[in-house]
Amino acid sequence: MKDTGIASPSAPDASHASSPRMTPWRFVLVFGVVSLLMDFVYEGARSVTGPLLAHLGASALVVGLVTGAGEAAALGLRLVSGPLADRTHRFWAWTLAGYALTAITVPVLGLASALWAACALVIAERVGKAVRSPAKDTLLSHATAATGRGRGFAVHEAMDQVGALLGPLTVAGTLALTGGDYVPALGVLALPGVAALALLVRLRARVRDPVVYEMGDNAVREPPAPEQRTSPRLPRAFWVYAVFTAATMVGFATFGVLSYHLVQRHLLPPAAVPVLYAAAMAADAVAALATGWLYDHCGIRALVALPLLAATVPALAFTDTLGPAVLGALLWGAAVGVQESTLRATVADLVPTGRRATAYGVFAGVMGAATLAGGVLTGALYEVSVPALIITVAAIQAAALALLVATRGPRPPRTGAAVGGDGHPAGSGPCRFER
């Protein structure tokens, strides 16, 4: 790996850094198992959020508001956790704390008997994601500098979705066996949560500072030259990219509203909704791998798929026919796969190492505001007019697509290349913008 001569962002511990005891790909894979187990937990819970809230008396607007607010918390609060992770350099501690919060809140959600308590727990689980995500993505970004950004994040996301497949299926099976009792259905998710935390502690013991994957041992031990110190400002390219992402999220329905539609229109029984969610997560994994590979070969142009998928989802998912509705849910999963893998990979290529957790936090904050707007918009329009919902989402995604085409994106990154001090693959030159 090329040595960039740049100090680790975790400078206080730099003198004690040593080569990690596993390869970059193995680090990605083990971290993927951690995420697999935790996705087992929270995706199992999310698969029944809509029916659970409806069971407690929620309307479509309340479901849209709560699920949108939950996603907004998961994304918006990273504006705080991201900069704090960069300042404290305690990336592992933030990651562990966030996973622990999720592992605790999900089993308790099954015990909630009041709507307000269930709503609070749904949002609290998402707060756990906000706490861990900037730090976790920063740790992962170091290893993907050696594996290829698109492929590394895509493989990690695909492993996520194995858990996202198993969790909903487990919940569905438990609901079927218990006659729709949410207490055991969510209580069983405590087991993979404990396993994920134990594996994460072990991974931290083996790789204390993953930045050596990206910068090399000598770089970790040398102080940065004055001209190489990280600028307090995030690159202009990052902000342009964030605006495009926000546009796609404003016109994107939450699965809570989709599942509400399926149950209220009697297209699926509540116990079958987690099965469909599991299938959507399988589509997520396939889409993540496909767009991750495309990103490593053709750069940001691979993201054209996102607004196209998002515009198609409501036209199919909110029909009164089971077949198109199921297809719409699968395309929803594919769009989430692009969001959770290739969008994150692009941020790592746009921003220097020392500001990466901050960038992930800011990026998530932008997405959070847009997601809240999208959740409220789709929930409100659903109650007024489904055709109006379809037309509105299509118009928003058309604007997002035009923005992506009109703007300029990063060059396709070199697979396995070390990242330079400007936040771009070493040897590829700065991120240029081309019409």
Per-residue pLDDT at 118? 87
Question: Which residues make Cβ contacts (< 8 Å) with residue 241, sequence separation at least 6?
Answer: 300, 346, 347, 350, 407, 409
Residue 342: per-residue pLDDT: 82
Q: Where are the domains of the chain?
A: 23-216+235-406
Give, for all 435 residues of the chain, the pLDDT tens digit.
Answer: 333 333 334 443 443 445 666 788 888 899 989 989 998 998 888 878 878 888 788 887 788 788 778 877 887 788 888 889 888 888 899 999 999 999 989 888 878 878 888 888 888 888 988 899 888 988 988 888 878 888 888 888 888 878 877 888 888 888 888 888 888 888 889 899 999 999 999 998 888 888 888 776 444 434 444 433 445 678 888 888 888 888 888 888 778 788 888 888 888 887 788 788 778 878 888 888 888 888 888 777 888 888 898 889 888 988 888 989 899 999 998 998 888 888 888 888 888 777 888 888 888 788 878 877 887 888 888 888 889 888 998 898 888 888 777 655 555 444 444 443 333 443 343 333 343
What is the per-residue DSSP string for 76-109?
HTHHHHHHHHHHH--HHHHHHHHHHHHHHHHHHH
The torsion angles phi and psi of 152, rounded to 5 degrees, stand at -60, -50
What per-residue confidence (pLDDT) applies to 95? 93
For residue 134, how far is the Cα from the chain centroid?
Answer: 10
CA pair distance 105, 120, nearest whole angstrom: 10
Question: Helices 386-406 and 356-384 sit at what angle, rounded to 10 degrees?
Answer: 150
pLDDT at residue 319, rounded to an integer: 87
pLDDT at 200: 92
- Given this model, what pLDDT does residue 195 score? 92
Note the pLDDT of residue 410: 52
CATH number of this structure's domain 23-216+235-406, picked from the four choices 3.40.50.2000, 1.20.1250.20, 1.20.59.10, 3.40.50.620: 1.20.1250.20
Structure tokens at 190: 């405590």
What is the predicted pLDDT for the residue at 330?
Answer: 92
